[in-house]
Structure 1
Amino acid sequence: MVDSPLVRPDGRVVAVVVAFNRRDLLQDALDALATQTRPLDAILVVDNASTDDSAQVARNHPAAPVVVTLERNTGGAGGFAAGLAHAVASLGADGVWLMDDDTIPTPTALAELLAAWATHPAPVDAAGSRVVWTDGRDHPMNTPRSRPGASRAALAAARRAGVVPVRSTSFVSMLVSADAVRTHGLPVADYFIWNDDFEYSCRLLRDGTGLHVPASVVEHRTKTFGATDADPGDRFYFEVRNKIWMFTRSRALGGGERLLYGASTLRRWARTVARSQARGVLLRAGGRGLRDGVLRRPRPTSEVLAGLSLASDVVVLDRSVR
């Protein structure tokens, strides 16, 4: 077995929960983290300038999480970037377990991720859980992408470990090696929402090892069951802009992958518009996203988060290149 920071018995795992105006769900998420069969070494709640009492709920929780409130809402992308940076640079994490405040892990979710990590013969950069909705169905919003072209040896090793090799995974329960963060940097905070986990996990796993661990289960308590292409309204702007940024500005994908995922994205956009009850809204939002995706490029994460809490940790780990 390959020695890895998360395999060692003394490996330190920090959960990072990004919270925004969902205090009841945050309470449930923290309750679930407090009852993990493999106890966490620390829990960090990054409050994205909530206007409810999410930060106070976290501070009052018996799990005693570290709570940091950002001075403005930086979206999921900024929250995860700041949280990852603080967990690795200041909290001494060997592994960082990422999730939103509507992610409710089952009691063995972390233990199963770590067991798969320890069993796999190659060093692992990231591992993700099986994500279900409130009724137990697999959630279509958080489907990992299997690794195309995986060798027979890699597939056999994965089967023995009870996992699936993947090319990308979701921030709804994603365990990341601190070494991978030091090498590849942080999520692109300028994405704000959507595709930040797709870009980041693809960047980590372009030459690294990623696992989908079906035995590790978390519940994603979204309001409705469905993927992000279910009539997203004005948020379609972020889908279009960020995908263009990823395909043209990121080192996460190779040339063939850009064509493969680009074609898939165009088909998905066409389905989204065709099914929409507000096509004009989507077309206008998509048009703005197309314009900004082509004419602009994402700013370095340290620039986006400058002046906020945890900014000094972000500077340490930011690998953004203009």
Structure 2
Amino acid sequence: MTNNIVAAVVTYNRLDLLKEVVHALKSQTHPLREIIIINNSSTDGTRDWLLQQDGITIVDQPNTGISGGVYTGLKKASAMDAEWVWVMDDDSIPTATALEKMVNKFGAIPKPIGFAGPKCLWTDGSVHWMNLPFMTSYVNGIPFNTYDEYGVCLTENGSFASLLINIAVAKEVGLPYEDFFIWGDDQEYTKRITDAGYLGLYCSDSLVLHKTPSNYFADVTADTVKNIWKHKYGFRNEFYMVKKRKGFLFFMPWLAAKVAYTSFKIIKKRKDNRFRFVGALMNSAWKAVVFNPQIDRI
């Protein structure tokens, strides 16, 4: 068990929710060494409120999305010589025992752990669709349910909505892609960690309330047009990850087929703004061809 854990919360213009997060972090049954708030240039009085609080380290920066916030949070936690950093979004409210339930699993797992994630719930207590981990039968050759007696499943992916990251592992694999901004950043980063031989834990008894306006999994055929900007990033990042993993020769014909299929699906299933979404898809596809972010190191 370690007491050298800091929390890093990424916030942008959600002061009321941020207040809940800070209160929840200060109420954890497992001690936090420090609370870092990554303020992505909020304009709603967030900084003024933070300046009045005790026990908080404030980092002000331009709005670089959750990707850039986690990037900064990891760098700051490393500079503090923390062993683990608990990154989260400003609408993810951990229950009082959330951290304790994750940390208590460490002693039961003999293999090196790269990250641990909680079970995210929506406001009505149902499982949050947005934060479901991608499960596979094996993680680094180990069956995913090997440690289920401890309330743990092994997973290759976790969500930046709430994720406990091993700083030593982050130093080895590098930082998340700051340029991703939003969507797909956590999938890429946690898969990078498990690809390096570390385990990812899904801790079903560690509970976090993710207070999004609705409980949904992003669907380009049904989402509102106000979220089209998120889909632009999501498409680009998804396509880039395929390019990175499979290589350019595989990527180009795959991309053509993917864009054609997704365009057909959008036109067939959407009830409005069909061609705006198709246009966003095609724009993101072109950007993915030339997109080439670099891995920065701590």
Shorter chain as normaliser: what TM range? 0.7 to 0.9
Q: Give the match's secondary structure for 1:227.
A: coil
- Per the alignment, residue 104 of structure 1 pairs with 93
Between 49-58 and 126-135, report the one with greater CA deviation.
49-58
Q: Give the match's secondary structure for 2:113.
A: coil
Q: Give the match's secondary structure for 1:181.
A: helix
1:112-166 Cα shifts (integer Å, max 9, x gaps): 0101122222121111000000001111111101133358964454113211110
Cα RMSD (Å): 2.8
Q: Contact (CA 8 Å) 1:190, 1:301: kept in 2 or not?
A: no
- Per the alignment, residue 15 of structure 2 pairs with 23
Q: Contact (CA 8 Å) 2:123, 2:211: kept in 1 or not?
A: yes
* 2:32 counterpart (16, 40, 43): 40
* 2:135 counterpart (146, 170, 178): 146
Q: Give the match's secondary structure for 1:146.
A: coil
| Shift, 1:288, TM fit | 0.7
| Shift, 1:173, TM fit | 1.2
Segments of structure 2 that go 5 or more residues without pairing to the other structure are 248-256
Looking at structure 2, the residues matched to 247 and 60 of structure 1 have their Cα atoms a distance apart, in angstroms, of 45
- Per the alignment, residue 286 of structure 1 pairs with 281
- Per the alignment, residue 212 of structure 1 pairs with 202
**Distance 1:162-1:288 versus aligned 2 partners, 3 A rule:** same
Q: Contact (CA 8 Å) 1:26, 1:58: kept in 2 or not?
A: no
1:276-310 Cα shifts (integer Å, max 9, x gaps): 53212211111110010012322x365xxxxxxxx
Q: Contact (CA 8 Å) 1:249, 1:297: kept in 2 or not?
A: no
Compute the TM-score of the two structures, normalised by the length of structure 1: 0.81
- Per the alignment, residue 59 of structure 2 pairs with 68
The answer to whether residue 159 in structure 2 is matched with residue 164 in structure 1 is no
Looking at structure 2, the residues matched to 161 and 21 of structure 1 have their Cα atoms a distance apart, in angstroms, of 38
Q: Give the match's secondary structure for 1:145.
A: coil
Q: Contact (CA 8 Å) 1:129, 1:216: kept in 2 or not?
A: yes
| Shift, 1:60, TM fit | 2.0
**Distance 1:297-1:161 versus aligned 2 partners, 3 A rule:** same
Segments of structure 1 that go 5 or more residues without pairing to the other structure are 1-6, 254-262, 303-315, 318-322
The answer to whether residue 183 in structure 2 is matched with residue 194 in structure 1 is yes
- Per the alignment, residue 67 of structure 2 pairs with 77
- Per the alignment, residue 245 of structure 1 pairs with 240
Q: Contact (CA 8 Å) 1:77, 1:193: kept in 2 or not?
A: yes
**Distance 1:58-1:281 versus aligned 2 partners, 3 A rule:** same
Which letter does structure 2 place at the counterpart of 1:101? D
Which letter does structure 2 place at the counterpart of 1:243? E
How many residue pairs were aligned? 286
Looking at structure 1, the residues matched to 217 and 259 of structure 2 have their Cα atoms a distance apart, in angstroms, of 13
| Shift, 1:228, TM fit | 2.1
1:37-92 Cα shifts (integer Å, max 9, x gaps): 11211110000011111122223234x2101111x21111111101111111x211
Compute the TM-score of the two structures, normalised by the length of structure 2: 0.87
The answer to whether residue 82 in structure 2 is matched with residue 93 in structure 1 is yes
Looking at structure 1, the residues matched to 31 and 263 of structure 2 have their Cα atoms a distance apart, in angstroms, of 42
